[in-house]
Amino acid sequence: MQVKSFRTKDEMDKWLLDNPMRCPGALHLFETNAKELRYGIEINSSSSFEFGRQIEDPVFKFQVPLQYAVSREISRSLIGDPNFSFDVGLKEFAHPPGRIDSSDSYDASFPTIFYLLVAMFGFTFRIHSLVLEKEMKLRQTMSIMGLYDSAYWTSWFIWEGFMAFLTSLLIVAFGTMFRDDIFVKNNIFLVFLLFFLFMISMVSFAFMISTLLSKSSSATTVGFFILAFGLVTVASIFSSLFYDGTVKNSNYRILWSFFPPNPFAGGFTVLEEAAGEGGIRWSQRAECKLLGDPCVSMVYFYLWLVSLFFFWSLVAVYFDNILPNSTGLRKSRLYFLKPSYWTCRGDSNLTEDIRHLASRSPTQPDHFTPDDEDVREEEASVKRATIEGTINPDVAVQLRGLTKSYSMALKISYHRHSLMFSTYFFLKDLWMNFPKNQLFCLLGPNGAGKSTLISCLTGITHVTRGDALIYGNSIQSSKGMSTIRRLVGVCAQFDSLWNALSAKEHLHLFASIKGLPMATRKSVSFAENYIEWSYLSTLHLAFAVYGTMKRLLADVDIDKIANSRLGSGYAAKVTFPKSLYNILSQENDINAKHRKAVKLFFKQRLNVEPKVENEYMLTFALPSAQEEILARFFSEVEKGQSEFGIKSIQLGLGTLEEVFLNIAKKAALQTFNPKENMKTLTLPSGATLQARTFTECVKIPGTESRQNPRGLMVDIFWAQDDIGNLCISGHSAEKPVPPDLQLTAASLATSTRKGCSCC
């Protein structure tokens, strides 16, 4: 121990003030005469708090031991006996219980804990909802529909801000109703502002936490853990040490304040202590109420909470961009420094790069030359248009060297570890056109890149190289992609539905995202009571074609479409599927009309011939209204299988294509006028007859003879072709006309053209 002396008391006080936490105290000695020596003890009242260090009591640690030592030595000096025994006993005097500091009592922290729980009630549910939207790809669906990220976050902030405002009003109202001193004695707007700013800062903090999670199940756990951690920090002794001047290190105080419940607890403590002294008026909001260095006021906590709201909001948006989303995509860490991010324009060098890509020589090592002649012609045509900078107005989608690849790291161990990287291509150098007003199908096995291509065209996945133009808009440009999402409808593989919303509400939501006016949305009639959630394919298709759609991208397996429940009586119950039937039946009708062209293509290009597997198979279509007799029917068929000569029975559900064809056939029959339609019947002799449609039998002109005075006739068999048009499927053998049958002779045509035959 070092001892320092001073000549006067003022010099000592000045040194103690200039050097806090260096000396525990001072001893003042006053010599009255040779037999009287007086003294006084001064304790250093400076305080400090450091992590990992025990707080000591200056009275029992320094004052009492020093007083005992000074009294002992003075006694020995006056008596003249250096071995004089001087024993002192310490016993605490009986006294009423002293005032317990609120910082040392969990009971005193109960009001803060209670109101903190009320204010943080929706914190966990907020995180769960955000992560659930990301996990179920609901946000991805809204982005495909054309929703901006800024609009997504703004909508969340507006809604949560409104809920924070309403909750703060209710807390203040009930606190005033129950006559709590914090609400009654303090200015009511100061209390409301503290709760509101705290809740909106927790909103941005919840948004930031949601960007770090990918599973909704873990979101609940993390939310409750943060809530428990906030309660511990508020209820502990640390809640006031950082703001009352005990903690001198400003870095610790700043770090402590980044967690929103801590500034809230500090502000609430100020209001609580001020309530015991008459409260705080609005004009006193900037006055220091917590003694310490530095002195803090309510404005200090307000500024901290506002700063936390903007800080955690920016961090949430930043993490949302640089962390992988539901499809594994993310932006670079310095994405906000790129001019293209702020101007919404693509790379200025992209056009030149694609032209250079189109002009590559086929002899280059990485150049891929297709084997098929049609593919080579298509690729050459697109490359020529790319180099010349021309856009064909009849082309809806043009792929320009579109490539999507992923880098994979492989660790190979041989004596030592080494790391190798390989590139896996999902799409590679696609040069092709999708014409307007045509149905284009992507065929291929799993992993061929069909879904990847659609994801690239809709902006879900960023391309590695190349570009694609959809109605003249580039997918590499943010502005172009925004236009594309308004013009293109997407029917994705995953289910993008909210359990809390009805089908009608889903349609109105996506209509709002696509920017349809309110009058258009209200004009859509909807029989909501007949909607069942099992009709997911119908709803997804309705979302895709809703609005001003120019092209539909359906990333759905054929089997899923074929087995979807779009038929039966469902169309009669709901209004909008009728328009879907019309759209899809028109597409199906185009397919049927071009079926021969498709067969011709396979025959010429792929050397494929149609093969008749069985000429003795009968196909029956059973309406859904007669499903009840199926069990009895098959039971009887199995009993008489050998009698009827049945070798095999195949049972299957009607496909979506058959449903649409049946609708088209029924429509053709309803609008058919037999008087205006004549069909040609070709006889085995080569002669042709003209017969009205639906005529059951017709007389052959010029066949009267002695054996058959009334002539000969044939029975005509009518049917419908693939697209619903009536045609003659066959006729009976020539037979005499019965004497009691009145027939009108058909006109004998000299043409030798063949009649229509049904498939």
pLDDT in tens, 519-567: 766 665 554 444 444 455 566 666 666 666 677 777 765 444 444 433 3
- 472 belongs to a structural domain: yes
pLDDT tens per residue across span 711-755: 888 888 877 665 556 678 888 888 888 887 776 555 444 333 333
Q: Which of 139, 161, 162 shows the shortest CA–CA distance to 513?
A: 139
Selected residue with higher pLDDT from 721 and 309: 309
Q: Are 679 and 751 in contact (CB under 8 A)?
A: no
Q: Which of 437, 471, 491 is the last residue of a domain?
A: 491
- Any domain includes 498: no
**Residues 342 and 318 both lie in one domain:** no
| 3 state SS of 157 | helix
| Of the ranges 231-235, 254-258, 501-505, 600-604, the best mean pLDDT one | 254-258
Q: Please tell me the total count of domains within the chain.
A: 4
Q: Nearest-CA neighbor of 268 among 118, 148, 370, 129?
A: 118
**Percent of the chain residues past pLDDT 90, beyond the cut:** 9
Q: With a cut of 90, say whether residue 169 has pLDDT above it.
A: yes
- The one-letter amino acid code at 454 reads I
User: Is residue 629 domain-resident?
Assistant: no
The model's confidence at residue 345, banded by pLDDT at 50, 70 and 90, is low
* The pLDDT value given to residue 754: 34
State residue 195's pLDDT score: 93
Tell whether the model's pLDDT for residue 50 goes beyond 60.
no
CB 263 within 8 A of CB 305: yes
Q: What is the rounded CA–CA span in Å between residue 182 and residue 274?
A: 8
Q: Are residues 346 and 443 in the same domain?
A: yes
Closest CA to 260 of 215, 217, 207, 213: 207
Per the prediction, the chain carries an average pLDDT of 73
- pLDDT of 654 reads 65
Name which of 195, 221, 219, 198 is nearest 208 in CA terms: 219
User: Which pLDDT score is estimated for 578?
Assistant: 36
User: Does the pLDDT at position 145 exceed 60?
Assistant: yes
Alpha-carbon distance of 339 to 454, in angstroms, equals 27
- Does one domain contain both 44 and 115? no
Instruction: Provide DSSP, 498-541.
Output: -TTS-HHHHHHHHHHHHT--HHHHHT----GGG--TT-HHHHHH
> Are β-strands 488-491 and 551-554 bridged in parallel, bridged antiparallel, or unpaired?
parallel
Confidence class for position 426, pLDDT limits 50, 70, 90: confident
Q: Which of 269, 294, 268, 271 is nearest to 284 (CA)?
A: 271
Q: Are residues 131 and 276 in the same domain?
A: yes
Q: What is the pLDDT of residue 210?
A: 92
Give the model's confidence band at 404: pLDDT under 50 very low, under 70 low, under 90 confident, else very high: confident
pLDDT at 192: 94
Query: What is the residue-wise DSSP string for 378-403?
Result: HHHHHHHHHHHT---TTEEEEEEEEE
Do the domain assignments include residue 539? no
Domain boundary residue among 79, 101, 120? Answer: 79
Q: What is the pLDDT of residue 632?
A: 81
Whole-angstrom distance, CA of residue 20 vs CA of residue 416: 60
For residues 290 and 235, membership in a common domain is answered with yes
Q: With beta carbons less than 8 A apart as the criterion, state whether 758 and 720 touch.
A: yes
Please, which pLDDT band fits residue 298 given cuts at 50, 70 and 90?
confident
- 723 within domain boundaries: yes
Secondary structure of residue 84 in the 3-state scheme: coil
Give 159: exposed, middle or buried? Use CB within 10 Å, 0-12, 13-18, 19+.
exposed
Which of 178-187, 228-237, 415-424, 683-692 has the highest mean predicted lDDT (pLDDT)?
Answer: 178-187
Candidate ranges 268-272, 505-509, 549-553; pick with highest mean pLDDT: 268-272
Domain annotation covers residue 74: yes
Element (H, E) at 681: strand 678-682
Answer whether 292's CB lies under 8 Å from 253's CB: no
Which helix (H) or strand (E) segment holds residue 727: the answer is: strand 726-731
Calpha distance 448→457 (Å, rounded): 16
* pLDDT at residue 52, as a whole number: 47
Q: Which residue has the higher pLDDT, 106 or 244?
A: 244
Domain end (from 264, 297, 322)? 322
Tokens of 301: 């906590």
Q: Give the DSSP H or E segment for 590.
A: helix 576-593
> Does residue 653 fall inside a structural domain?
no
Q: How many residues are listed for the chain in this entry?
A: 759
CA distance 246 to 47: 6
**301 and 343 belong to one structural domain:** no
Do 129 and 264 lie in one domain? The reply is yes
As a whole number of angstroms, the distance between CA 746 and CA 692 comes to: 9
Residue 51 pLDDT grade (very low, low, confident, very high; cuts 50, 70, 90):
very low
Judged against a pLDDT cut of 50, whether residue 358 lies above it is answered with yes
What is the crossing angle of helices 138-145 and 503-514, to 10°? 50
CA distance 440 to 64: 95
**Whether 263 and 121 share a structural domain:** yes
Taking CA atoms, 675 is separated from 77, 399, 693, in Å, by: 145, 51, 8
**CA–CA separation, 373 vs 365, rounded Å?**
21
Q: Which residue has the tokens 């020093």?
A: 66
Provide the residue range defining the domain that includes 443: 338-360+369-399+424-491
pLDDT at 149 over 80: yes
pLDDT tens-digit series, residues 654-663: 665 566 556 6
Pair 585, 662: CB distance under 8 Å = no
> Six-digit token pair at 624?
């859904």
440 and 312 within one domain? no
In a domain, 569, yes or no: no
174: helix, strand or coil: helix
Shared domain for 373 and 465, answered yes or no, is yes
- Residues 665, 657: Cα–Cα separation, whole Å: 12
Statement to judge: residues 185 and 270 lie in one domain: yes
pLDDT for residue 159 is more than 70: yes
Enter the tokens of residue 420: 């190798």
Whether residue 230 sits in one domain with residue 126: yes
